Structures are given as C-alpha cells and as structure tokens.
Amino acid sequence: MSRIGLRLHPRCLNERMPRRLRVTVWGENVHERKNPIVRQIYPNGMHSTIAEAIAEQRGFDVRTATLQEPQHGLTKSVLEETDVLVWWGHAAHGKVNDRVVERVLARVWEGMGFIALHSAHYSKPFKRLMGTTCSLTWREAGEKERLWICNPAHPIARGIDRSFEISNTEMYGEPFAIPAPDETVFISWFEGGEVFRSGCTWKRGNGKIFYFRPGHEVYPIYHHPTVRQVLRNAVRWAAADGAKWIDTCPQIPAEKAPEPLTAKGPRLHRGGEKGFR
Amino acid sequence: MSRIGLRLHPRCLNERMPRRLRVTVWGENVHERKNPIVRQIYPNGMHSTIAEAIAEQRGFDVRTATLQEPQHGLTKSVLEETDVLVWWGHAAHGKVNDRVVERVLARVWEGMGFIALHSAHYSKPFKRLMGTTCSLTWREAGEKERLWICNPAHPIARGIDRSFEISNTEMYGEPFAIPAPDETVFISWFEGGEVFRSGCTWKRGNGKIFYFRPGHEVYPIYHHPTVRQVLRNAVRWAAADGAKWIDTCPQIPAEKAPEPLTAKGPRLHRGGEKGFR
Amino acid sequence: MSRIGLRLHPRCLNERMPRRLRVTVWGENVHERKNPIVRQIYPNGMHSTIAEAIAEQRGFDVRTATLQEPQHGLTKSVLEETDVLVWWGHAAHGKVNDRVVERVLARVWEGMGFIALHSAHYSKPFKRLMGTTCSLTWREAGEKERLWICNPAHPIARGIDRSFEISNTEMYGEPFAIPAPDETVFISWFEGGEVFRSGCTWKRGNGKIFYFRPGHEVYPIYHHPTVRQVLRNAVRWAAADGAKWIDTCPQIPAEKAPEPLTAKGPRLHRGGEKGFR
Amino acid sequence: MSRIGLRLHPRCLNERMPRRLRVTVWGENVHERKNPIVRQIYPNGMHSTIAEAIAEQRGFDVRTATLQEPQHGLTKSVLEETDVLVWWGHAAHGKVNDRVVERVLARVWEGMGFIALHSAHYSKPFKRLMGTTCSLTWREAGEKERLWICNPAHPIARGIDRSFEISNTEMYGEPFAIPAPDETVFISWFEGGEVFRSGCTWKRGNGKIFYFRPGHEVYPIYHHPTVRQVLRNAVRWAAADGAKWIDTCPQIPAEKAPEPLTAKGPRLHRGGEKGFR
C-alpha cells in the first residue's frame, strides 16, 4: 500500500518495519457474570472495556482472554504473539493454573510487557514478579481519588496535566508491600485520608512491568478517559525495546573459554554436561 | 553478670539489650554424602563449615539444618528464632518442600535476613525473592577467581583490602539474570575471561538479601579466610534493623477512615469483610 | 563505670566500643532572627530545637552550627568529628559558601550521614547529592498533613504506628524532582489535595542520605513528638556502618597489576604519573 | 516522497511524524591538537570519529562541538536542538565554563539524553548528575579488555553477541564511585586482572544517562565496529520518550487548591509570591 505525497520518516524506511503492537487483555471475568452492577457497567466484561480503550490507539492489535477459556486463553502461541499482557483479576487468583502462570512469567522474562491493574496486585504473576506479598490496605466506600504525576514528562503520563480525579473508587492505602519501584509515575490521594503509589514500574529479565491502581469492578473506572489514556500509554511503554532474552544456563567448557585455560582440580560435572537446575 | 570497671557504652545500657544474633545455615547435604572429594573437604558437610565460619564471630548463635531433616529442619519455630538464614543448595533444589519455601519467604518478608550462596542462585527461595530466572553461565575448570570490592567501605566488605583471590573455583559468568541489585558489593574476574556480579544486595519486604557467589563443593572455598570473613560480615549486615513487618491486608471501613467519610455508591464487600486474596 | 547485675551483651564486650554518635545540626538561622513568629516558636533557633530533639536519644552527642559562624561552623575538624549532619535552610541557600559545600560533600562521600529537612530540598548540598533540580509545588495555608509509613518495619519509622498527623504545615506537592529514592519511607497526604514523598533515602559514595519534609518555620513542627522521634531514628539510620571510603583515583602500573602484564602500545602518561582530574 | 508498493506501518502514518534524532558530540579537542599519535588516529578529532560512527545510523542528524568554540559550541539554541549530547573530555575538565555546564544540566533534566564516554567520568556534567566523586583506578598499558553483556536483550547491546574485545585499552578498575546504576549493561574484564562496570544507565529528571567506558585517546577505539554500534544504540536509547519536563517550583494558593481549603495560621509568604530558591 502506498501513500502518495507523504513525507516518510527515514526511520520508518530503514528499520525493519515494526509489526503492529500486539496486546492481550486478560480478565478473570467472574464478577461480570455474577454481579448485576458489574454487568451493567461492563456488559462484555471489564477485559473488553479495557481492550477497547487500548485499541483506540492505532497500531495496536488487541485481543482478550479470560479465566474460563481453555488454558485461560493464554496458550503458548497466544503468549508468543503477545507483546504486552494486561491483567485484571480479583476473586479468582487462586484458580489461575500454575502452569499458565509459569508460561506467562517465562514470556515476561523474554521481553513481554506486563501490566497489572487494581486487584491484580494479588495475582499470581504479579506476586511472582515482585517477590513480595503485595499487600495493602483498602476500603470500599466510593470515595474520590486523585492521581498525581511524579514525573511530568514520563511516557506513561503523556497527555495528562499534573493530576486527574476519579469520583468513586475503592481506596488502596500504604503500606504497599512491593519492592522499591524503578520509577514511581503516580501517587494517589484519597478522600478518606490515605495515599498510595498507584503507578509503578519495574524490570524483570527483559520484561517491563507497570502496576496501575484504578479499577474497581462496581465503578465505571475503565470508561474514564484519562484512565484509558494511561492504559494506552502504558502499553506502548511496556513493549520490549529489543530482542528476546532467551533464558539459558550454559556450561562454557575450558576449551571454549575466552582465555587460554587448562582445567585444574577435581570436578563434579563432565565437560559439556548440563548443570543442575 | 557484671563487669567491674568496664566503660559501658550508653547505647548498651539504654536500649533493650539485643539478644544474640541467631543464624541458621541450611545445606542440602547431598554431595557431602555421595562424593568422597566433597566429604574429604567438608567432613561434616558444607553447612557445618559455613556455620563454624560464622560462629567465629562472638555474639552469633549458629545452628544448621539440612534437607534430610523433617521439614528440612526449617520448622515454624526454628524460623521464628532465626534472624538470618544462610542457604547452600545445588543438586536438590527441586526436593525442597514448597510449604517450607513459603514459610521461609514469609519470614524474610517479616524481617529475617537471607543469604544465598553459590549454586543457591537456583534455589527456590532465592528465585522466588528475585522474580527472575537467576540463570548464568558456568564452567568447572578449577580456575582462579578474583573478587573486587565495588564499595570499599561497605560493611559486607569490612576487613578486606581492595580484592581477594580464590585459587580454584567454578566459574560463573554474566549474564546473571537477576533484577538490578540495590547494591553491587563484589564483581569477580575469572582466569578464563568472564566476569560476574558476585556480591549483590536486595530488600524484599523487611528482609535484607545478599547473594554471594563463591562456594563450589569440590573446592575448599568455605575454608578460605576471606570468604569466611565475608560470611560473618554479611550475616551482621542482613539482620533486621527494626521490628517485624507483619503482613496484613486490612479493610479500613469508612467509619474508621482518617478523614470524615460517607460511603457512596455500590459495593461488592460488606463493611468489615475480609477481601479476596 | 559498672553496672552490677546487668546482663551484658557479648557484642558490647567484644567489639571495639563504639564511640558516641556525633551529630551536627546546621541551621541558616535567618528567619529566627528576622521574624518574631519564628523567634517565638524557636527562641534559640530551629537548629537548637532540632538538636534538643536528637539529643533526647542517649548515646548521641549533638552540636549545632549556623550560617553566620565562621565557615558556617562547618570547619574541617567539625566535619571530621561529625557522623551525621542535619541541615535546615530556606532563605539563604545561596549564601552558603561553595568551599564549605565541597567539604560537606567530601565527608558525605566518605561516610558522613546527611539529613535534609523541609526547605533544604533546595540546599546546595542536597541538590549536589541528588543531581536533579529538587523542585516541587508548595502552599502556605497552614493545612493538615498526614504522613503514612510505606514500610512499617523501617528503622526510620520505629515507634510510629501506621501514620501520624501534623495540624498546620506548609504543603509540598508532587512532582518532586528527585532521582528515584532507594527507599520511600513516608508519603504525605495534604488537606488541600496534594501528595508528596516526604521521607526518602539514597546512598552516595559511603554516605547515607535521608530527606524528611516536615518543618516550616512559622509552625511548631520541630516540637511535634513524632517528628522528633523520626529525627532520632533517622540519625541512627544515617550513621555509617563501616569504615571511611577515602576517595582516590590511583594509577596501578603494569608491574603492580594483579596479573602478569607487559605494557603494549603508545601511552599518554608516564608510569606512576597521576592522572587528570 | 512516496514509495509505491511499500507496506507502511500504521504508526508511521498516524503519529506526529518524529523529527530526525539530533545528536551533538562534544569533544575537548585537546589531545588531538597536541599529541601526534592522537592526531594520527583521529585526524579530525575524536569527536568527529564518534560523530561519524553515530551518523552511520540513518535518521540521526549529528553535529560536533568543541571546547575551543565560543561557549564550547553549546549555546542555548544548540542545546535546545539537541536530543542527545555525547561527551568526551579528559585533560581539560576544569576549563569547561560553569555556565555552560548549568545549561547542559538544565537540558538533561528537561529530557536531553547524555552519554559520557571514557574519561568523561570526571567531566563536570557527569559528576554533577551522579552526585558522587566518580573516581576509579586506571592503568595505561595497552592491555586487552573484554566487555560482557549483562542483559542480552538490552537495546544498548543490540546486535552484539554475548561479549566483545578491544585489543589495546587503558584499564579502568573498580571501585567506580558512582551511585548504583539503574541498569548495568556491560561489565569489563581486563588482561591485568581488574573488572569495571563499563556500561551503566541512570535517570535524572527527564534525562536518560549512559556511561560507556571504552575510549582512550592513543588507541583507535572509536574506529572499533562494535564500539561504534554501541554508540548508535546508546544514542537511540537515550533520546527522550516524551515531552519536556519544564522545571518549576510554583506556589499553589489556597483558592487554587484541588480541595476546598481555608488558610490557617501565620505565613511567611504572601499569596502568589514566589518562594526562595
């Protein structure tokens, strides 16, 4: 397909044309089916609303997957073809199959971005990536939340001016048992008096991780324009910059050592043998 | 017990007298029982040699525990009474009971220090705390290693001048698939040409974590005076500074909110209800 | 001096008896002399009030120093004998002599702890240690502040339960232009709707740094019991754990290299020559 | 300009067409003029060789600037039009005008990337951004260096397989007095036995910073293909992702507070007044 008369950026011409950014939005899809309030706000499930928000960005191919699907919709090939995985879970964390979790983690470590939303702080993948309890305090009182940007020029905060409000939310409060984030993008103020690090980034292996707090199931938070903007910004931010990090633990025998080397002393392993894991 | 004539430091008088620092050294004790070379170097097991090294520091109470013991010797009460847990494992990572692992993690998050030695990079507790694969490259050729100090005044490097050598080691090389350490204390140079971040620190919850590379089973590395010095330094460093972080995820109802708050909007949970986990 | 019947901790007996922790509290002492409100709250200057708070901890030797003194009271020997320097400045940052600043920085890098209070976010030493602008937003409206603890067991938060309030403060709001802290100890909630990372730690060289927000000159904040507790906790936390890091940039000539080495190729410097700086 | 038959990526069409990435390579240009060996290797100065290496990447507009130019070639408008500044300096750090340094720092904090090469560890801008001494050990003996990649998929390491060697270098050794890097991309092994963190990243304000060690003036290191590849990768990595962070420290008066707020208590500043700086 051509475009006559368009000034093409040299980078678009010279680099391998980047494929479209492929996003999978995973939702446990439990509240939506059980709770009429939730169903009214999110008729096709929160995951669909989130996916639609992300798909407003052209250049993104967005699909969804839910707990109820075989392998929770996260087959090896779906994950292979996912650049960024977005996760919403709450009541059914324990029902997520551990083999699927391992598959997700392996892809994150290779380079798949991972975005954990709201109650996904207690999801299996997020807790495994953090290595902490990820506990917090909380309250369901429909109070106001105001998210402040800690770094005005951060790509995840693009298009937002200083702060934004969400009228009715479920409060999350410190202490938030996470490892010190690489970057704190948002901190929230709550009407009831609490604060919370509501937008945080980490790197695990080659995977970029973003936790974003807003999102309670009985409020229309994923219809909020700024929340939707953050989701799109975060997905772009989380996509891997480079190649895959293929995990290996190879033995480099003496004859292959970069420097001349004669083996000395006793050995447990034979040359070329795989190690223990 | 009194000491006449001794000038007592005011801090010793005024603070709650600190109990002795309690250390548990865990070893899988597999190679020692199967391999005559290992048995010759470590007749009572590597864990005993490590424990003796640490116990050279007065003020430390050191015990050992092994894989073969009931609950791997890491019962709830042993862990409750452990300030720092030192871990050596290699061939039997997979045999460590997952419930014991969860118990260890819970204590680390409360404040128990954790020191992972050598092949414990692939131990269940270390991988869970890191949230990465912890892979590396390796070679068994008895080559020389030189550890350099990256921060001369770091407490873990106390008593060591610039660098120290170990004549025969098993090489570990970058890339080491760990999250960016809070601090890099040692970096190693290998005769065969590789490098490795051989002393790294992290914090998870209230637990301080130190990974220390030297330690192959067929070499007398845990008899090396400087290695033993680092173990003592690291144990002191890893002990918690303050109280325990008891993990909770409490609901703070509207009437208990710090600011006056009227509940608004629909709710999923009843007031006072425990959340999902 | 002896204490009969006291059970002495072995560590107190066996280690080199630690000298008392020496603290210097530096205040610019400008508002105190010009503003009657400030003078009424802090008759001997904020620095004296802060020093008294810290001196409540036995084992601390606390002195003060002010802008008006020769070399601002921070002579080479005062700094040599200071384990932790606490800094309050506001209206006269620019009047701090640059040579004194360099002296302070050199000591921090050696291992002197540095605690920057409130408006010291714009002090010369703090900005130099951070390498950022350290800007923020602010408001003088006497509003309420609530500081939340992000890590309940952190030594700086010792003795404080979850959060504490200060009735009248000067608001500071995000974005706070600091590098990502190593640890975020406190985050503040303000009556007017803002949030702020009000307790943050960093390491620079061998020096531990803590920024603590509360402290406006026209409010009695340094008389607040919990603020005073934090000051004492922070001073203990900030004291160096180990030896000094003496800054050097030595040339290690080929004949002194750890490995056998023959010099090859052209050279700019003669052997043994000092490099450029 | 059009391209018939080319499949155009939607992102190239829909986003504001990115302007070409603008790079300024600053060299002190002292050795080149004084030392015939340097002049032979770098006839137009190291800065020109570095600039040519970077310009091999289409989409980059590269210029140079030197110490001798008015304002060292780093006028306000040059810096305004620079996305990434690359810096090589050695013998003349002290000659760099402090006002120019402040201008460079201000642009980094806004979002200009900064790449410090080799002896620029002691440059004024790098030391200011780090907040540490940036000291190290060194040796001029033309020894071999091997750089290892610590994160195989890192964009700065793109196109490089595991490690690469430089035959003749000037050794830099740990301890390297930098703050803990956000990411360690490369660690070096030296023939003489030392190690060094030779590729490190940090963030200061909105600016991304990369330190890259190779580069001694009497060796043809900037003609090395892999070194040149890293320079191109690093420049792309260092360019800001988003908007500028314009530094401000505004007073937000009570009537403009996000929450209803009545001013209470005494004040130092009048409403709307600028604060102290």
Please report the pLDDT score of residue A242 as a whole number.
Answer: 65
Query: Which residue in the block uniquely carries the two structure tokens 């001694």?
Result: D216
Strands A21-27 and A84-88: parallel
Under the banding of pLDDT at 50, 70 and 90, the label for residue B273 is confident
pLDDT at C274: 76
* Contact assignment for A180 to C182 by CB distance below 8 Å: yes
| A10-29 residues touching D, CB cutoff 8 A | 10-14, 17-18, 20
Beta strand extents in C99-224 (DSSP E only): 113-117, 137-149, 163-173, 183-190, 195-204, 207-212
Q: What is the pLDDT of residue B18?
A: 61
Contact partners, residue C91, CB within 8 Å, separation at least 6: C28, C30, C31, D276
Q: Are residues A133 and B261, on separate chains, in Cβ contact within 8 Å?
A: no
The CA angle B110-B196-B52, to the nearest 5 degrees, is 55
Q: Tell me whether residues B189 and D193 touch, CB distance under 8 A.
A: yes
Structure confidence at residue B265 (pLDDT): 85
CB D185, CB C161: distance < 8 Å: no
Q: Is the pLDDT of residue A3 over 60?
A: no
CA-nearest of B139, D37, D155 to A253 is: B139
- Is the pLDDT at A15 greater than 70? The verdict is no
Chain B CB contacts of D150 under 8 Å are 174-176, 197
Chain C residues within an 8 Å CB radius of B151: 206, 245
Q: Given a cut of 60, is residue C1 above it in pLDDT?
A: no
Q: Which residue of A has its CA nearest to C195?
A: A189
Distance of CA B107 to the CA centre of its chain: 12
Could you tell me if A38 and A29 are in contact, meaning their C-beta atoms sit under 8 angstroms apart?
A: no
| Minimal C-alpha gap between D138 and chain B (Å) | 14
- Using the predicted structure, report yes or no on whether residue A151 has a pLDDT greater than 90: yes
Query: If we measure between CA atoms, which residue out of D39, D41, D60, D63 comes closest to residue D51?
Result: D63
pLDDT tens digits for range B115-162: 999 999 999 999 999 999 999 999 999 999 999 999 999 999 999 999
Cβ contact (<8 Å) for A11 and D111?
no
Q: Which residues of C touch D204 (CB under 8 A)?
A: 131-132, 179
Note the residue count of chain A. 277
Tell which residue, C106, C121, C91, C87, has the closest CA to residue C30: C91
Mean pLDDT of C192-211: 98
How high is the pLDDT of residue C243?
83
Tokens standing for D101?
């340094």
Number of H-type helices and E-type strands within chain C = 8, 9
Nearest CA in chain D to A236: D241
Instruction: Provide the pLDDT for residue B50.
Output: 98
* Six-digit token string for D19: 């302007």
Tell me which chain B residue has its CA closest to the CA of residue C203. B183
Average pLDDT in the B237-263 region?
93
- C10's CB contacts (< 8 A; 6+ apart) are B20, B58, B59
At D43 the pLDDT is 95
Among residues of chain A, what percentage have pLDDT more than 70? 92
The 10s digit of each residue's pLDDT in B86-108 is 999 998 999 999 999 999 999 99
CB of A140 within 8 Å of a chain B CB? The answer is: yes
Instruction: Kindly calculate the radius of gyration of chain B based on its CA atoms and give it in whole angstroms.
Output: 22
- Please give the residue of chain C at the shortest CA–CA distance from A180: C183
Q: What is the DSSP string of B37-106?
A: HHHHH-TT-HHHHHHHHHHTSTTEEEEEEETTSGGGG--HHHHHT-SEEEEE-SS-GGGS-HHHHHHHHH
Closest CA to C129 of D96, D144, A165, D179: D179
Which of D189, D188, D190, D230 minimizes the C-alpha distance to D210? D230
What is the distance in angstroms between the Cα of A70 and the nearest Cα belonging to chain C?
A: 39
Nearest to A128 by CA among A87, A167, A185, A159: A87
pLDDT at B24: 98
Q: Which segments of A103-182 are extended strands (E)?
A: 113-117, 137-149, 163-173
Residue in the block written with tokens 């970058």: B174
Q: What pLDDT, on a 0 to 100 scale, did the predictor assign at position A115?
A: 98
Per-residue exposure over B2-27, b if at least 16 CB sit within 10 Å of its own CB, e if not: eeeeeebbebbeeeeeeeebbbbbbb
Can you tell me the distance from the alpha carbon of B9 to that of B6, in angstroms, rounded to the nearest whole number? 9
Do residues D136 and D115 make contact, with C-beta atoms less than 8 angstroms apart? no
Pairwise CA distance, residues D183 & B139, whole Å: 26
A189 touches chain C (CB under 8 A): yes
CA distance B73 to B76: 9
Disruptive mutation site among B1, B8, B22, B184 for chain C (greatest number of C CBs within 10 Å): B8
Q: Beta partners for C65?
A: C26
Say yes or no to pLDDT of C31 above 90.
no
Arithmetic mean of pLDDT, C218-239: 97
Among B39, B105, B143, which would you mutate to test the A interface (most chain A Cβ atoms within 10 Å of its Cβ)?
Answer: B143
- Arithmetic mean of pLDDT, A66-84: 97
Instruction: Indicate if the pLDDT at residue B266 is higher than 70.
Output: yes
Q: Per the CB < 8 Å rule, is A242 touching D157?
A: yes
Lowest-pLDDT choice from B10-19, B178-187, B209-218: B10-19
pLDDT of residue D7: 39
Q: Do B140 and A269 touch (CB under 8 A)?
A: yes
Which tokens sit at B159? 């008593």
Answer whether A129 touches B (CB < 8 Å).
Answer: yes
The C-alpha of B170 sits at a distance from chain D's nearest C-alpha, in angstroms, of 17
Burial pattern D101-130, b for ≥16 Cβ within 10 A else e, equals: bebbbbbbbbbbbbbbbbbbbbbbbbbbbb
Residue range B200-237, pLDDT digits in tens: 999 999 999 999 999 989 999 999 999 999 999 999 99
Of B133, B192, B251, the CB nearest to A261: B192
Amino acid letter, C6: L
pLDDT tens for chain D, 277 residues long, are 222 333 344 444 434 446 799 999 999 998 888 899 999 999 999 999 999 999 999 999 999 999 999 999 999 999 999 999 999 999 899 999 999 999 999 999 999 999 999 999 999 999 999 999 999 999 999 999 999 999 999 999 999 999 999 999 999 999 999 999 999 999 999 999 999 999 999 999 999 999 999 998 999 999 999 999 999 999 999 999 768 999 999 999 999 999 999 998 888 776 667 788 8
User: Left (φ > 0), alpha (ψ -120 to 50) or beta: where does C82 sit?
Assistant: beta
- From B257, which residue of chain A is nearest by alpha-carbon distance? A192
Q: Is-cis flag, bond preceding C181, omega within 30?
A: no
Return the DSSP state at B122. Answer: G
For A81-116, how does the pLDDT look when each residue is reduced to its tens digit (9 = 90+)?
Answer: 999 999 999 989 999 999 999 999 999 999 999 999
In terms of pLDDT, which residue wins out, C40 or C11? Answer: C40
Q: What is the pLDDT of residue A33?
A: 87
Mean pLDDT of chain A: 92
Q: Which of B10, B19, B20 is nearest to C3 (CA)?
A: B10
- Point out which residues pair with D65 in neighbouring strands: D26
The confidence band for A9, taking pLDDT boundaries of 50, 70 and 90, is very low
Name the band, by pLDDT with cuts 50, 70 and 90, for residue C277: confident
State the Cα–Cα distance between residues C210 and D67, nearest whole angstrom.
37
Whether C150 and chain A come into contact, CB under 8 Å, resolves to: yes
Q: How far is B196 from chain A (nearest CA, A)?
A: 14
Looking at residues A59-71, what average pLDDT do you find? 97
> Measured between CB atoms, which of D136, D261, D269 is closest to C249?
D136
Say whether pLDDT at A269 is over 90: no
| CA atoms of D224 and D212, how far apart (whole Å) | 14
CB C28 within 8 A of CB C92: yes
Residue B6's pLDDT is: 35
- Find the mean pLDDT for residues C172-186: 98
Structure tokens of D6? Answer: 């080319």
Amino acid at C226: T
Q: Which residues of A touch D258 (CB under 8 A)?
A: 146, 163, 165
Sheet of B113-117: strands edge to edge? B60-66, B21-27, B84-88, B113-117, B207-212, B195-204, B183-190, B137-149, B163-173
Q: Where are the alpha helices (DSSP H) in chain C?
A: 10-14, 31-34, 36-41, 46-55, 76-80, 98-110, 124-130, 225-238
Instruction: Taking residues A204-213, report their average pLDDT.
Output: 98
What is d(CA D10, CA C183) in angstroms, rounded to the nearest whole number?
41
Q: What is the pLDDT of residues B23-41, one digit of tens each?
A: 999 999 998 888 999 999 9
pLDDT at B255: 95
Record: contact C265-D142, CB cut-off 8 A: yes
User: Rounded to an integer, what distance in angstroms lies between the CA atom of residue C210 and that of residue C125?
Assistant: 12
Residue C2 tokens read as 């002896």
User: What residues in D contact B193, CB-CB < 8 Å?
Assistant: 146, 189
Question: Would residue A151 be called left, alpha or beta, if left means φ above 0 and alpha means ψ between -120 and 50 degrees?
Answer: beta
Question: Taking CB atoms and an 8 Å cutoff, what residues of chain C touch D258?
Answer: 192-194
Q: CA distances (Å), C28 to each of B194, B208, C22, C95, in order? A: 52, 37, 20, 9
Kind and range of the H or E run holding B164: strand B163-173
pLDDT of residue C242: 65
Helix, strand, coil percent content, chain D, rounded in steps of 5: 30, 25, 45
Query: Which residue of chain A comes nearest to C149, CA vs CA?
Result: A175
Contact assignment for A249 to B136 by CB distance below 8 Å: yes
B15 pLDDT exceeds 50? Answer: no
**Predicted pLDDT at B4:** 33
Range A188-212 burial, b when 16+ CB lie within 10 A, else e: bbbbbbbbbbbbbbbbbbbbbbbbb
Task: Report the C-alpha gap between D118 and B277 in whole angstroms.
Answer: 51
Q: Does residue A140 surpass a pLDDT of 90?
A: yes
B164 touches chain D (CB under 8 A): no
Phi-psi bin for A137: left (phi > 0), alpha (psi -120 to 50), beta?
beta
pLDDT per residue as tens digits for the range B51-97? 999 999 999 999 999 999 999 999 999 999 999 999 999 989 999 99
